Amino acid sequence: MRSVLASDIAEKLWSWLRALFALALLALVVKFLATYLPKQQSLTPTVVLGSMKTVGGFVALIAAFVVALEFVLYVILMKLLKWKHALAYMLVAPGMVGIALLFLYPFSYNIAIAFSNRSLERFLPGAYSYGLAFGVENFRSVFTDKILHDTGFWEVFARTWLWTAINVFFHVLGGLGLALLLNRTLPLRGLYRTILVFPWAIPQVIVALALHNEFHYQYGFVNNLLVSFGLPRVQWLSEPVPAFVAATISNIWLGIPFMMVIILGGLQSISHEFYEAAAIDGASGWQQFKSITWPLLQPVLTPATVMGTIWTFNAFNVIYLITVGGPSEKTDILVTALFKAAFEFYRYGQAAAFALVIFVILFAVSATWIQLSGGLKGVTD
Amino acid sequence: MKGLIRWFFFRSRGDSPFKLLLIHLALIMACLIAIYPVARVVSISLRPGDRLLSTDLALIPRDATWSNYTRLLASKDFFLWVWNSLTVTISVSVIGVILAATSAYAFSRWKFPGRAPALVLLLSTQMVPAIMMLIPLYLMFVGITRQFGIPLVGSYLGLIVAQSAVGVPFSIWILKGYYDTIPVDLEEAAKIDGAGPLGAFYRIILPLSTPALAIVFLFNFMASWVDYILPRVILPKPELFTWPLGLQRLQGQFQTEWGMFAAASVLVAIPSMALFLYSSKWLISGLTLGSVKG
């Protein structure tokens, strides 16, 4: 009895300590910033006022637009037509107009660009033109020409799937392993859980930028750890395979906590009674896992895996900030290649066609999943 | 000591002590792997300037100093970057919450014509990668900037607009799921007491959905705060850099600025991580919130 109490108190104490620690750290940061705010020259009152003015003016513009829109809708739908759906339309209008302008229109515009010869030399209106022939040429060039400096579509396509498969496999494996370890009454469980979520909690950009330096041949910690274990140094960022491995390790490290948290939630929702019944029948741990845990985890694991697949497929930051797709484009995946095609090679027509190809791939993945998981039945209820 | 050992092993009667020891060892290993790269950044931020490039693996340098922090804050544009980020992030979050709160209410309470396709449209916006939308958005923004003089490229505005476009559909989706769980009876009662449909929304629904509104605000805030790719394309001027761009500039000068990069990372990461860890329970519940009831 006393031990139970002791461990409860310890858990409480730990959560207080954690909060206290976080507050102390935050206070330190605030103190630092407050001390140096008057001493620096970059953030002057002029700058602050300037940005307030820009944003304020813009918000006023949007507000005016919304008011005008609502007024028109009010007069037409409510006063003239006296339609019963008038209020619903008035509520939905600002958001949906925004989505139409910033999603539907750009999406259609992207299709139009794919059927044009727009590029850096033909950038301004009048310099480029639209035509079916340009579209055919753009799509052909995506598949048969180089999409980067000297890399073709299929190489990047294959690498993207290799990248996605390896990452998602290790995310699920690592997440499942840690979740199974944590899914019991365990002293210090809260502490472990908090620390294990760190890679997810820290902004990804910071991790990616820091790891780029940490894969440095001479001074990065990865090579120095290898040396301290008596292993040779590796040219992480200047050889294709090590660069791919470096990016993959980084992304696995980043992605495990999400899977762990999601799977842990799933594990905790499985009733104890199943395990008790199985134990009475004499089922071993592995048998319990195989016929209780794994099947009952599927409703959580499947959507998490699909989400993980799409995120990994789109993992721009990790690749672009750690290896920059290099050396010599050997670690580029589809999204980084697309970014380079558009914003480094300025081949807008080809890039727009390329974007549509990637969209179709992702759409196929999502649609397959939606089909498998029972369709869009619940969506429009 | 004996008591401590007993406590350590007490609560898991199902597992043998040996197994428990292995579990703890495995978890400690995993924690070390999870925390080491983070600790390294802290460690480098405390190194004195002449020892930045070193093969040392010790986590607390023998001659730890704050000099990287003081140099960063006094000589670099760190404050400006954070201010730029905050300006954009708060604008995006506020716009997202306001637009989503009203739209989601209509989606939840009225079966108006066009509702079903609109909901499918909201969902399909989430399937399009940001980089794909970036090409037409960028070209659109360049066109608008040239033609109408509204500086969507090279000012915060384009970034606010683009990030809202990503955030609003998702926010509507989550809020609709939450509104669906609030019984309609409550509004009926308010209407009997003389409230109009908007009065019922304002007095009953909005106060009841404060947690969901907070989740939506947090989601938009986090997504915008850590975004790299949109600012990278839309904000080319150094004086408009958000913190990810600023950090990248520091990191790019590997030889000279690594310590300052690490210091800036720590200063940004502490509030970000505190916010994330504090709100992660809600953020994760928010991921499933909208899916519970379609």
Select from A2, A48, A90, A99 the residue whose CB has the most chain B CBs within 10 Å, as the one to mutate to test that interface.
Answer: A99
| Together in a domain, B23 and B154 | no
CB spacing of A197 vs B280 below 8 angstroms:
yes
B112-120 long-range Cβ contacts below 8 angstroms, 24+ apart: B112/A85, B112/A88, B112/A89, B112/A92, B113/A85, B115/A380, B116/A380, B118/A92, B118/A96, B119/A379, B119/A380, B119/B176, B120/A376, B120/A379, B120/A380
Which chain B residue shows the shortest CA-CA distance from A350?
B135
| Together in a domain, B90 and B157 | yes
CA atoms of A294 and A35, how far apart (whole Å): 54
Q: What is the mean pLDDT of residues A141-164?
A: 88
CA angle A332, A335, A341 (to 5 degrees): 80
- pLDDT for B9 equals 52
Whether residue B151 lies inside any domain: the answer is yes
Whether residue B124 lies inside any domain: the answer is yes
- pLDDT for B194 equals 80
Say which of A203, A265, A366 has its CB closest to residue B269. Answer: A203
pLDDT digits (tens, 9 = 90+) for A89-137: 888 888 899 889 888 999 999 999 999 888 877 777 777 878 888 888 8
User: Residue A311 contacts by C-beta under 8 Å, 6 or more apart in sequence?
Assistant: A255
Whether B289 and B177 have beta carbons less than 8 Å apart is answered as yes
pLDDT digits (tens, 9 = 90+) for A218-247: 888 888 888 889 898 888 888 899 999 999
- pLDDT for B290 equals 43
Beta bridge partners of A152: A146
Beta bridge partners of A130: A116
Q: What is the mean pLDDT of residues A199-219?
A: 89
Highest-pLDDT range among A56-65, A104-113, A271-280:
A104-113
Whether residue B203 lies inside any domain: the answer is yes
Say which of A85, A104, A363 has its CB closest to residue B127. Answer: A363
- Select from B34, B38, B35, B33 the least CA-distant residue to B265: B38
Residue B292 has pLDDT above 60, yes or no: no
Residue recorded with tokens 């005016």: A64
Say which of B74, B110, B139 has its CB closest to residue A40. Answer: B74
Select from B4, B19, B21, B27 the residue whose CB has the most chain A CBs within 10 Å, as the one to mutate to test that interface.
Answer: B27
Lowest mean pLDDT segment, chosen from A273-282, B175-184, B248-257: B248-257
Question: A204-214 and B243-252 are packed helices; what angle lies between their axes, rounded to 10 degrees?
Answer: 0
Using 50, 70 and 90 to split pLDDT, how confident is the model at B12?
Answer: very low
pLDDT digits (tens, 9 = 90+) for B44-92: 888 887 666 666 667 777 778 888 888 888 878 888 999 999 999 999 9
| Together in a domain, B121 and B39 | no
| Together in a domain, B40 and B162 | no
CA atoms of A247 and A321, how far apart (whole Å): 9
Domain boundary among B65, B88, B107: B65
Residue B288 has pLDDT above 80, yes or no: no
CA atoms of B176 and A259, how far apart (whole Å): 26
Q: What is the mean pLDDT of residues B102-122?
A: 88
Residue A8 has pLDDT above 50, yes or no: yes
| Together in a domain, B188 and B273 | yes
| Together in a domain, B226 and B92 | yes
H or E stretch including B10?
helix B2-10
Cβ count within 10 A of residue A333: 26
Whether residue B5 lies inside any domain: the answer is no
| Together in a domain, B58 and B94 | no
User: Looking at residue B152, which CATH number applies to its domain?
Assistant: 1.10.3720.10
- pLDDT for B284 equals 64
Whether B218 and B283 have beta carbons less than 8 Å apart is answered as yes
The percent of residues in chain B predicted with pLDDT above 70, rounded, is 86
| Together in a domain, B48 and B117 | no
- What is the 8-class DSSP label of residue B49? G
pLDDT digits (tens, 9 = 90+) for B23-36: 999 999 999 999 99
User: Residue A364 contacts by C-beta under 8 Å, 6 or more apart in sequence?
Assistant: none
CB spacing of B226 vs A203 below 8 angstroms:
yes
Whether residue B3 lies inside any domain: the answer is no
The two tokens of residue B284 are 């994760």
Using 50, 70 and 90 to split pLDDT, how confident is the model at A1?
Answer: very low
A146: helix, coil or strand?
strand
Where b means 16+ CB within 10 Å and e means fewer, B166-203 reads bbbbbbbbbbbbbbbebeeeebeebeeeebebeebbee
| Together in a domain, B103 and B200 | yes
A84 vs A93: which has the higher pLDDT = A93
| Together in a domain, B172 and B255 | yes
Number of domains comprising chain B: 2
Q: What is the mean pLDDT of residues A180-191?
A: 84
Say which of A47, A109, A196 has its CB closest to residue B34. Answer: A196
Provide the residue type at A115 as one letter: F
Q: What is the mean pLDDT of residues A168-172?
A: 96
Whether residue B263 lies inside any domain: the answer is yes
ipTM for the assembly: 0.85
Whether residue B4 lies inside any domain: the answer is no
pLDDT digits (tens, 9 = 90+) for A310-319: 889 989 999 9
Residue A361 has pLDDT above 70, yes or no: yes
The percent of residues in chain B predicted with pLDDT above 90, rounded, is 19
Residue B11 has pLDDT above 80, yes or no: no
| Together in a domain, B104 and B235 | yes
CB spacing of B3 vs A206 below 8 angstroms:
no
| Together in a domain, B33 and B106 | no
Q: Which domain holds residue B49?
A: 14-65
- What is the 8-class DSSP label of residue A38? T
Whether A175 and A262 have beta carbons less than 8 Å apart is answered as yes
- pLDDT for B293 equals 37
Domain boundary among B65, B94, B125: B65
CB spacing of A380 vs B280 below 8 angstroms:
no
Whether B192 and B204 have beta carbons less than 8 Å apart is answered as no
Lowest mean pLDDT segment, chosen from A59-63, A149-153, A310-314, A370-374: A370-374
Residue A167 has pLDDT above 90, yes or no: yes
Distance, in angstroms, between B13 CA and closest chain A CA? 9
- pLDDT for A254 equals 94
CB spacing of A317 vs B229 below 8 angstroms:
yes
- Select from B170, B188, B179 the least CA-distant residue to B109: B179
